[in-house]
Chains A and B, each alone.
Chain A
Amino acid sequence: MAFLEISHVSKGYGPPEQRAEVLADLNLAIEEGEFVAIVGYSGAGKTTLMSLLAGLVAPDCGTVKLAGREMQGPGPDRGLVFQNYSLLPWLTVFENVKLAVDQVFADRPEAERIAHTEKFIGMVNLTRARDQRPAELSGGMRQRVSVARTLAMRPKVLLLDEPLSALDALTRATLQDEIARIWQESRTTVVLVTNDPDEAILLADRVVPLTRGPNATLAPGIPIPLARPRDRRLINENPEFKQLRNQVVESLLSAGVKPKTTLTRDLILPDIEPEDISKPWSYFNRRGPLRKGEKREESVEVAP
């Protein structure tokens, strides 16, 4: 029995007539203390998957189970770090984190909650920005506040939705190391969503590619047996790393059926003439059958 388990989950949006299927038949089992990275194209449904794990949206079919129990709505035991930080702009760094701490540890005395809040602000190196508002912080600092807020809730599962995608490469590297360090210290279960295979391999125990949408699904996971702590400078020359990266990229490219475009056009029988597409369509100059009954349809599949 895995700790966090998704089985046969599908999710789509919109009313039945114009339904957009996003995720189809997802299966994933995550062990306690495992660090899993999900890599996928943008728009594949990664945020949707995270919302399912967090309980913010309910699956259309299938189940999401945490520690053997089916999930009922969101809760602080699954800490979600939102893709766009989602800090409350009218609260300072301290107040943003404290709001979460007050909520989760409501039974503790005030002094203890303040100490707890300050400890987690210190953990992400933001003690000096304690009383600043999100608008005064850089993107990387905001993301760290968001991480601190989530970690301070002491979640059983840490869900990171593209936490570093919006950041510049240098900040990104620093925060990757910080995430690795925090995970080494706390050993909570982590699900990291990213669009960067290198980031996934650097941080995770297992990389699970999400195929291209619509109807995206999870490809078989790729275990990352690299020793920790992993050094980003050495890892680039590591042949094992290169081989793993090829495997991930290969899986992303080949997994699932490539989308095909079907063109359907009208043909006029018996004399089929090549159509002059450059000729503009107008009411007086229609392309179409001269007589009813002469119309036939032909479908052509075009590679994207």
Chain B
Amino acid sequence: MSNSTLPTILTAQPAETGKPAAGTPAAAPLPPPAGRTTRDWSRLVKLDWLLLPAVGLAAVVVMWFILSATLSKDLPNPTRTWESSKPYVVEPFSYRGELDQGILRFTWLSLVLVAKGYVIALALGTPLGFLLGLSKMMTKMLDPIIQILRPVSPLAWLPLGMVLFLGAGKQASELAALFTIAICAMWPTVLNTAVGVRAIPQDYLNVAKVLKLSRWKTLTKVMIPATLPYMFTGFRLSLGIAWLVIVAAEMLTGRPGIGGFLWQQYNALVYEQIILCILTIGIVGFILDRLMSVVERRFKTA
């Protein structure tokens, strides 16, 4: 593909750049059309990111209408979904009972649980990543285990967590959920931190050696700052996974939250709210990812 485009680019460029260079008299009639095309282009670009997503959205909604009217009669159509979800969206923080709350109130409960599990994931994953990055022996010893544990689904971890915390009584379901979130979300942090530690330039380590920095100072003044950009990439990916896991964890444990609400409404045959939950989960996940990538970019440039 690149083979066929390359010659056209090469031949097109001299022809375009040749015109203005030909001399001022020849170039004089040119500006008006050039100005118009750039203005057209900039207007098009604006429409690009406003209009095109709107078109895409409209297409999906239409498809949804058609689908609910033809193939899948049980699927609520968009208007019904909106009418049924309205009380949850219009009063997002209302509390009508443990399992009947506003959508943002549920989201908040889920976020708190995710935050706890995520903190555990980072607290375990970062040191583990450093260990793997620093020691070849540790890498050889632990890498196979990590590669095997990494693809295991949260649905598989949760029952194990329930068993682990069987003795905890009322707290068991929360602890099991935290365990699942932590163990699923920690791998990107572990692996990215390890890669980052291995990628520390030898020059920086030589500086530490020449200055005779102590081990602790080498770690805090040189190694951690040098690894931060990689660590934050790991943190961002981990947060994505933690949010992904929350739904599964709440479904199986029956805890109140966005995932628990989804599952409960499914069991209560209120299908409209399933779609509301999916949209909310998607939007919250998107916002979290954006926030983290802002932080990440700050560390990349620093």
Query: Are the C-beta atoms of A103 and B212 separated by less than 8 Å?
Result: yes
Docked complex Cα distance between A82 and B205 (Å):
12
Query: Are the C-beta atoms of A88 and B225 separated by less than 8 Å?
Result: yes
Q: Which of B177-212 contact A (CB under 8 A)?
A: 203-204, 206-207, 209-212
B222: interface (CB < 8 Å): yes
Question: What is the CB-to-nearest-CB distance from B180 to chain A, in angstroms, rounded to a whole number?
Answer: 35
Docked complex Cα distance between A75 and B211 (Å):
6
A4: interface (CB < 8 Å): no
Q: Residue B211 contacts which of A82, A89, A99 (CB distance < 8 angstroms)?
A: A99
Query: Are the C-beta atoms of A103 and B211 separated by less than 8 Å?
Result: yes
Given A82-B206, A84-B203, A99-B221, the answer on whether A90 and B211 have CB atoms closer than 8 Å is no
A33: interface (CB < 8 Å): no
Question: What is the CB-to-nearest-CB distance from B34 to chain A, in angstroms, rounded to a whole number?
Answer: 36
**In the complex, which residues of chain B have a beta carbon less than 8 angstroms from the beta carbon of A67?**
none
The chain B residue with its CB closest to the CB of A82 is B203
Question: What is the CB-to-nearest-CB distance from A132 to chain B, in angstroms, rounded to a whole number?
Answer: 13
Interface residues of B, count at CB 8 A: 16
Chain A interface helix/strand/loop/mixed? loop
Residue interface mask A76-97, B partner, CB < 8 A = 1: 1011101010101110000000
A74: interface (CB < 8 Å): yes
B213: interface (CB < 8 Å): yes
Query: Are the C-beta atoms of A88 and B222 separated by less than 8 Å?
Result: yes
Chain B interface helix/strand/loop/mixed? helix
Interface residues of A, count at CB 8 A: 21
Given A88-B222, A90-B302, the answer on whether A76 and B207 have CB atoms closer than 8 Å is no
**In the complex, which residues of chain A have a beta carbon less than 8 angstroms from the beta carbon of B212?**
74-76, 103
**In the complex, which residues of chain A have a beta carbon less than 8 angstroms from the beta carbon of B221?**
88, 99
A100: interface (CB < 8 Å): yes
A56: interface (CB < 8 Å): yes
Query: Are the C-beta atoms of A75 and B225 separated by less than 8 Å?
Result: no
Question: What is the CB-to-nearest-CB distance from B215 to chain A, in angstroms, rounded to a whole number?
Answer: 13
A54: interface (CB < 8 Å): yes
**In the complex, which residues of chain A have a beta carbon less than 8 angstroms from the beta carbon of B211?**
76, 99-100, 103-104, 153
**In the complex, which residues of chain A have a beta carbon less than 8 angstroms from the beta carbon of B204?**
86, 88
Docked complex Cα distance between A56 and B205 (Å):
10
Name the residue among A73, A79, A82, A86 with the largest chain B CB count within 10 angstroms: A86
Name the residue among A75, A82, A99 with the largest chain B CB count within 10 angstroms: A99
Question: What is the CB-to-nearest-CB distance from B10 to chain A, in angstroms, rounded to a whole number?
Answer: 31
12 A-B pairs in the complex with CB atoms less than 8 angstroms apart: A74-B209, A76-B211, A76-B212, A78-B210, A82-B206, A84-B203, A86-B206, A86-B207, A88-B226, A89-B302, A90-B225, A103-B211
- Extra contacts, 8 of them, besides A78-B210, A103-B211 (Cβ < 8 A), are A73-B209, A74-B212, A80-B210, A86-B204, A88-B221, A88-B222, A100-B211, A103-B217
